[in-house]
């Protein structure tokens, strides 16, 4: 049969600054081609940045992506500090790393939950999001807001982590470890999750290099890159931790990398807290009066991969050019490799594995009908297909026992 079914996924993906419409061209159950359209979320941030002062740009870049609202200011701060040529104080470094790692935990938990939802495990979704709440409470305690923390500025941070707050964070790290054990156990030991994710959406090493994918997506395919180690910044060279990699490149490997990374993050946070306890309070920002002319490149490892900021300063109050590359920009393009040849039920989780979009779950519904009269399935139907498959697998699994 030559007639192809078009399945739109999107256009409203809230998660990244690159929400797109994915068009899956299917022949029966099999995805034959995938096309994407972007521009639904274009806000002209790079252009806006040229009209704002360096202090204001932090608030702007924070709002590129709500989930990684520390990663972008992190990279921007690295870039501007490179132009100025200052070395921030040790206390600032530790505080920055604590915030960065807390964010990694909350972002990965969010992903685990949504991946669970995509597979039809709504319990995992609810649990993971429940465990995420105390992390957001910590953010609220430290910075005053659950998201968009407004923590960074050139040469330092805006708020200190006082000694009185450290026990609460430490306690929460202990609690989150236990919850992680539970979640990891639930994911790693479940035969149905194995069946749904192993060998699905495989990205080979060569694909990763070709698409220059970064972060957990790359590390799950055995490409051992992590900006925190390769191009050290903040407190990462001062603490002990390891980069998690896996070799299989499938959805399961990506889940594994993310789950294990959360343990590393908890350990980094604890070590940073040890150091913060020894250092004196205060002294969290350097006074910087002027940004000289120059070029700065800043990188930071966001939960999804490397964030890259390129800042050209002409010595004035605002950047002359500010180029931003978020990790999903390269990661999303790998869909062309991971989805083609998969069944529709597997395509959903393959798309989600890169961690591009979660909230589309409830509203991928096609707002627009395609004029060609091609059959359109909406998001819920898609997820239903995926859930049905899990149910069937569960049944057959039960039959074996």
Partner 1 sequence: MGFKDYCFRKSLWVFHFGGASCNNCDIEILDCLTPRHDLERFGILLVGSIRHADVLLVNGSINRRDRDRLLELYRQAPKPILVVAIGACGCTGGIFAEGNTFAGPVDKIIPVDAYIPGCPPKPEAIIAGIVKLAGKK
Partner 2 sequence: MDTEAAINKLTGKFIDEIAEVTLQKGKRAIVTIRPTALLTLSEYLFKSEGFRFIIASAMHTRRGFEIYYHFSLDADGIILSLHVILDKEKPHIESLSNMFSASNWIEREMHELFGIDFLHHPNQEKLLSEGNWAEGVYPYRKEFK
Single residue of 14, 199, 222, 294 touching partner 1 by CB under 8 A: 14
Nearer to partner 1 by Cβ, of 320 and 367: the residue is 367
First to last CA, the chain: 39
At a CB cut-off of 8 Å and minimum separation 6, what does 395 contact?
none
* Window 368-387: contact mask with partner 1 (x via CB under 8 A): x---------xxx-------
Q: Is 198 among the residues that bind partner 1 (CB under 8 A)?
A: no
User: Considering CB distances under 5 to 8 angstroms, the limit depending on partner class, which of partner 1, partner 2, none binds residue 225?
Assistant: partner 2
* Alpha-carbon gap, residue 61 to 384, rounded angstroms: 36
Tell me if 230 sits within 8 A of 176, measured CB to CB. no
**Among residue numbers 26 through 55, which ones bind partner 2 (CB under 8 A)?**
37-39, 42, 44, 46-47
**Judged by CB under 8 A, which of 28, 29, 39, 185 binds partner 1?**
39
Site for partner 2 contains 366 (CB under 8 A): no
Nearest to 375 by CA among 3, 5, 33, 2: 5
Shortest Cβ 64–partner 1 spacing (Å): 6
Size of the site for partner 1 (CB under 8 A): 48
Among 61, 225, 253, 266, binds partner 2 (CB under 8 A): 225
Residue with tokens 């594994």: 256
Residue 334's CB is within 10 A of a number of other CB atoms, namely: 24
**Token pair of 90, please?**
């040790």
For residues 109 and 96, give the distance between their C-alpha atoms in angstroms, rounded to a whole number.
Answer: 20
Cα–Cα distance list, 133 to 102, 151, 219, 355 (Å): 12, 19, 27, 19
The Cα 246–Cα 29 span in angstroms is 29
Per-residue binding letters, 100-139, with partner 1 (x by CB under 8 A): ----------x--x-----------xxx-xx--x------
Q: Which helix (H) or strand (E) holds 27?
A: strand 21-27
Helix (H, G, I), strand (E, B) or coil at 73: helix
318 lines the binding site for partner 1 (CB under 8 A): no
In the complex with partner 2, which residue's Cβ is closer, 132 or 228?
228
- Our finding on whether 310 is near partner 2 (CB under 8 A) is yes
395, exposed or middle or buried, with CB in 10 Å at 0-12, 13-18, 19+? exposed
Which CB sits closer to partner 2, 81 or 172?
81
Helical residues (DSSP H) of 85-151, grouped into ranges: 90-119, 122-143
Residue 241 interacts with partner 1 (CB under 8 A): yes or no: no
Partner that binds at residue 17, options partner 1, partner 2, none, CB closer than 5 to 8 Å by kind: partner 1
Give the DSSP per-residue string, 312-364.
EE-SSSS-SEEEEE-HHHHHGGGHHHHTTTSBHHHHHHHHHHT---STHHHH-
From CA 214, how far away is CA 233, in angstroms rounded?
Answer: 17
Closer residue to partner 1 (CB): 96 or 117:
117
- Region of 12-20, 213-221, 301-309, 310-318 interacting with partner 1 (CB under 8 A): 12-20
The length of the chain in residues reads: 401
**Per rule CB under 8 A, count of chain residues that contact partner 2:** 32
Q: Which is nearer to partner 2, 127 or 308 (CB)?
A: 308
Residues forming the site for partner 2 (CB under 8 A): 37-39, 42, 44, 46-47, 82, 85, 209-212, 225, 230-232, 295, 297, 299, 306, 308, 310, 312, 320-321, 323, 325, 329-330, 333, 336
Residues forming the site for partner 1 (CB under 8 A): 11-12, 14-17, 19, 39-45, 47-48, 51, 59-60, 63-67, 69, 110, 113, 125-127, 129-130, 133, 146-148, 358-359, 361-365, 367-368, 378-380
């Amino acid at each position: 049969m030559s007639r192809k079914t078009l399945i739109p996924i999107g256009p409203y993906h809230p998660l990244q600054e690159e929400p797109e419409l994915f068009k899956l061209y299917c022949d029966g159950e099999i995805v034959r081609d995938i096309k994407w359209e972007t521009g639904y979320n274009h806000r002209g941030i790079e252009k806006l940045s040229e009209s704002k002062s360096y202090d204001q740009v932090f608030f702007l870049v924070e709002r590129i992506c709500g989930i990684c609202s520390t990663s972008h200011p992190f990279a921007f701060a690295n870039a501007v500090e490179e132009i100025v040529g200052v070395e921030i104080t040790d206390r600032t470094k530790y505080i920055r790393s604590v915030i960065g790692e807390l964010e990694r935990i909350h972002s990965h938990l969010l992903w685990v939950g949504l991946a669970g939802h995509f597979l039809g495990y709504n319990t995992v979704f609810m649990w993971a999001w429940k465990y995420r709440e105390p992390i957001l409470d910590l953010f609220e305690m430290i910075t005053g807001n659950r998201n968009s923390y407004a923590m960074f500025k050139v040469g330092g941070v805006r708020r200190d982590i006082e000694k009185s707050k450290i026990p609460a964070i430490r306690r929460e790290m202990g609690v989150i470890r236990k919850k992680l054990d539970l979640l990891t156990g639930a994911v790693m030991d479940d035969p149905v999750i194995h069946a749904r994710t192993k060998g699905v959406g495989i990205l080979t090493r060569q694909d990763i290099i070709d698409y220059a994918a970064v972060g957990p997506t790359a590390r799950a395919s055995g490409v051992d890159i992590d900006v925190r180690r390769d191009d050290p910044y903040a407190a990462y060279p001062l603490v002990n931790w390891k980069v998690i990699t896996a070799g299989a490149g499938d959805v399961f490997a990506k889940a594994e990398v993310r789950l294990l990374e959360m343990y590393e993050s908890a350990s980094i946070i604890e070590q940073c807290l040890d150091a913060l306890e020894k250092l004196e309070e205060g002294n969290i920002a350097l006074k910087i009066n002027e940004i000289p002319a120059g070029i700065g490149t800043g990188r930071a490892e966001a939960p999804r991969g490397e964030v890259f900021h390129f800042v050209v300063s002409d010595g004035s109050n605002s950047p002359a050019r500010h180029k931003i590359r978020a990790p999903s920009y390269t990661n999303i393009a790998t869909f062309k490799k991971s989805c083609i040849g998969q069944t529709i039920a597997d395509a959903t989780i393959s798309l989600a594995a890169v961690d591009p979009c979660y909230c589309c779950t409830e509203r991928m519904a096609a707002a627009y009908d395609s004029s060609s009269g091609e059959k359109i399935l909406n998001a819920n139907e898609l997820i239903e297909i995926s859930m049905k498959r899990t149910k069937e697998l569960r049944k057959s699994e039960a039959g074996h026992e």
